[in-house]
Amino acid sequence: MNWRQYVKKYGLIEWPYPVRYGEEREIEADVLVLGGGIAGCWAAISAARKGLKVVLVEKGATVKSGSGGSGCDHWLNTPHPGTDVTAEEIVGWELEMTEGYCNALSRYIAARESYETLLEMEQMGGVIRDLKDEFKGAPFRDEKTKFLFAYDYKSRIHFRVRGSTFKVALHKECKRLGVKILDRVMATGLLTEGGRNGARVVGATGLHCRTGEFFIFKARAVVNGLSRHQRNWCFSTEIRGNANFRPTQIVGDGHAMSWRAGAEFTMMEKSLPTSFASGNVFQPYSHGNGINTWVPCTMVDANGKEIPWVDRDGRILKTVEERCMPAPGQRFMGERTQGYTHKRPELIPDLEERIRKGEYTLPLYADLTGMPEHERRVIWGLMVGEEGKTRVPVYIYYNEAGFDPARDLLQSYMFLGGDPMRGSVRPQDRTGGEIGDAGGLVTDWNLMTNLEGYFAAGDALFAANYHYHAAATGRYAGRKAAEYAEKTKFSPIDRKQVARERRWVYRPLENRDELEWKELNAAACRIMQNYCGEYKNEELLKLALISLRELQEQDAPRVCVDNPHKLMRTLEVYNILTCNEMIVHASMARKASSQILGFTRLDYPELDPPEWKKWILLRNEEGSIKTRDLPLDFWKPLKENYEKNR
């Protein structure tokens, strides 16, 4: 029975939960963790192990929520006793890849603590070894430890893991340690000392997404484990489906509330043209390719002709195993980088040109049939089976439909317009936080922001990425927040600030027009496409601010809300509007173009001039935008700073 048939037979479903708009619950915690994703869970566990009272607030269901909730196939950048690659070298390849636009501070913390974090994950029940000997004898398996590795079989710094077991284990450990988990509660605002912008953070407010109940949290320390901004340029609930990495309900709630409180951000001007969020592509890894999860897959053309792999020097690789081995003289390979030093083998770089000349015929196919059995099973089984969001809609559904990787080819949409990683993209189809490094909070070596008592981890940080980074920085931030809480007293909550937050949360209930939150989001995206898209100048950016302000003042108050779920969705779009303003202000502050940031100013066309190779920091001071800058390497020296603060 489909939805239309159901409504015809039974009528529309009434809201199934008791509605309690305006009712208040006040909760006290030594450490309050906002967000129950990978970073948030690790922060809560780390703080709870100090014996403190920890409360975790999550908009969804913690057991599977967040970017890494459904799984991950690899645990990257991890020095360990089985390799001689150091944390300094690992941060080095990321700095090379990003030309210095990398949060080396948090990446170094992650590299130094990643292995300990992984072993702790195993103690909690996460599966990180090949204990059933499924891949015994494979070149990517260490026979002594039974660890499995990816991408670089020689240096072995990238682990293959069964990440679908991780979130369940984290949730179980939180409960075992007595962490109070409040699922279906959206964090809506930060509470500061005296209610002042820029002051110490002493708590937060929240909204129950099913009942509409209002929450007031009082805390000695607060950790932001929320994710980054999304849906700023592209939004389509109808055709987007699973065509993005992170869940679509991740919108930058944490960014917006931090901005309103006066926290400092950087890198918000970065955006890239990709079709990830556009609704014009298929789900990542649901079709054949030779990238990331599918490395080192054999690719063939429509006539069965194999497409060669080459190393960084253009040397044709003759065996499958060579695709995961460093080139002669190469120290080790990054997970993905175009920088020569750590570049991984890839399909011939002039493939598109050769297709145009007729050397290869479209469509292309992933051909696992002729690969060594352990390579076939580790791609189709472990990697595709464990990658975030692929387990059910790709691995299980394809298997149920009869796909057999030992017999069948899987069509690729490379060059056909449906591949999110290779294909034509409209310039205005841009992404900010959907994929890759993105803008976020700036912290010190304790991962504390410029707001005292307010810590950040995972995707809340600028230039954050990957599961291992979220886990390790969450674990670190929880530890630091606990240390801070142990020597800090509770501060009184400012009731005037609470009243302001209540009015902001419930204001959409007063609306009587019939505009939907989706329409507001789509309008916000159109403004960003038109005035803060591929090309920017001062005039366009001013128009963006004017248009966003008009949207907030004239159309946002017209959005209709008739249950707590729609109230939550509407507040999310309000937060998207705030993030859009942050992006525009950041774009106005950078008066130079930058290739690595995907940033083109027509009125400042010079690309990456030396004087503009720096971080531009922004904060909101009572409605006034304050900026300052930092050198790209403000984190130096890495080892000494880490040792001093760990």
3-class secondary-structure state, position 290? coil
Query: What pTM was computed for the model?
Result: 0.96
Q: Is the pLDDT of residue 241 over 70?
A: no
Closest CA to 378 of 368, 388, 370: 368
Question: In this structure, are residues 71 and 391 in contact, taking their beta carbons and an 8 Å threshold?
Answer: yes
Structure token digits, residue 491 = 């501060």
| List of residues 6+ apart from 241 with CB closer than 8 A | 279, 283
Average pLDDT over residues 119-133: 98
Average pLDDT over residues 35-48: 98
- Bin 426: left if φ > 0, else alpha if -120 < ψ < 50, else beta: beta
Residue 357, number of CB atoms within 10 A of its CB = 9
Average pLDDT over residues 211-226: 98
User: What span, in angstroms and rounded, lies between the C-alpha atoms of 576 and 251?
Assistant: 6
Burial class (CB in 10 A: 0-12, 13-18, 19+), 239: exposed
pLDDT for residue 14: 86
Average pLDDT over residues 222-234: 95
Q: Is the pLDDT of residue 420 over 90?
A: no
In degrees, rounded to 5, the angle at the alpha carbon of residue 239 between the alpha carbons of residues 237 and 245 is 75
Helix pair angle (538-550, 564-589), 10° resolution: 160
pLDDT for residue 348: 96
Model pLDDT for residues 537-569, shown as the tens digit of each residue: 999 999 999 999 999 999 999 998 989 999 999
C-alpha 272: how far from chain center:
15
Residue 239 — pLDDT band, cuts 50, 70, 90? low
pLDDT for residue 10: 82
User: What span, in angstroms and rounded, lies between the C-alpha atoms of 284 and 292?
Assistant: 10
Helix, strand, coil percentages (3-state) for the chain, rounded to 5, are 35, 15, 50
Average pLDDT over residues 596-622: 97
- Residues facing 75 on adjacent strands: 159
Q: What number of CA atoms fall less than 13 Å from residue 441's CA on the CB side?
A: 34
pLDDT for residue 240: 64
> Rounded to the nearest 10 degrees, how much is the dihedral formed by the CA atoms of 598, 603, 604, 606?
80
3-class secondary-structure state, position 306? strand
Residue 577 — pLDDT band, cuts 50, 70, 90? very high
Long-range contacts of 97-102 (CB under 8 A, 24+ apart): 97/334, 97/336, 97/337, 97/338, 97/339, 97/342, 98/437, 98/463, 98/596, 99/596, 99/608, 100/613, 100/632, 100/633, 101/267, 101/270, 101/437, 101/463, 101/596, 101/597, 101/632, 102/437, 102/463
3-class secondary-structure state, position 85? coil
User: What span, in angstroms and rounded, lies between the C-alpha atoms of 580 and 569?
Assistant: 17
Residue 4 — pLDDT band, cuts 50, 70, 90? confident
Q: How would you classify the pairing of strands 265-266 and 614-621? A: antiparallel
User: What span, in angstroms and rounded, lies between the C-alpha atoms of 255 and 260?
Assistant: 9
Residue 195 — pLDDT band, cuts 50, 70, 90? very high
Average pLDDT over residues 374-401: 93
Q: Is the pLDDT of residue 366 over 70?
A: yes
Q: Is the pLDDT of residue 182 over 80?
A: yes
Which residue did the predictor score with more confidence, 3 or 193? 193
- Cis omega before residue 79 (within 30°)? no
User: What span, in angstroms and rounded, lies between the C-alpha atoms of 420 and 406?
Assistant: 26
User: What span, in angstroms and rounded, lies between the C-alpha atoms of 618 and 583?
Assistant: 10
Model pLDDT for residues 68-123, shown as the tens digit of each residue: 988 999 999 999 999 999 999 999 999 999 999 999 999 999 999 999 999 999 99
| List of residues 6+ apart from 51 with CB closer than 8 A | none
User: What span, in angstroms and rounded, lies between the C-alpha atoms of 78 and 97?
Assistant: 17
Q: Is the pLDDT of residue 276 over 80?
A: no
pLDDT for residue 147: 98
Closest CA to 456 of 465, 468, 444: 444
Model pLDDT for residues 325-342, shown as the tens digit of each residue: 999 999 999 988 888 999
Structure token digits, residue 412 = 């690729």
Written in H, E and C, the secondary structure of 555-613 is: HHHHECCCCHHHHHHHHHHHHHHHHHHHHHHHHHHCCCEECCCCECECCCCCECCHHHC
Question: In this structure, are residues 505 and 188 in contact, taking their beta carbons and an 8 Å threshold?
Answer: yes
Average pLDDT over residues 142-163: 97
C-alpha 31: how far from chain center:
23
User: What span, in angstroms and rounded, lies between the C-alpha atoms of 166 and 68?
Assistant: 9
Q: What number of CA atoms fall less than 13 Å from residue 355's CA on the CB side?
A: 19
3-class secondary-structure state, position 30? strand
Least confident of 174-178, 388-392, 406-410, 604-608: 388-392
Average pLDDT over residues 565-574: 97
Q: What mean pLDDT is reported for the chain?
A: 94
Burial class (CB in 10 A: 0-12, 13-18, 19+), 611: exposed
pLDDT for residue 40: 98
3-class secondary-structure state, position 300? strand
- Cis omega before residue 308 (within 30°)? no
- 263-272 as b/e, with b when 16 or more CB fall inside 10 Å? bbbbbbbbbb
Distances (CA, A) of 108 to 91, 95, 193, 638: 6, 11, 32, 7
User: What span, in angstroms and rounded, lies between the C-alpha atoms of 389 and 386?
Assistant: 8
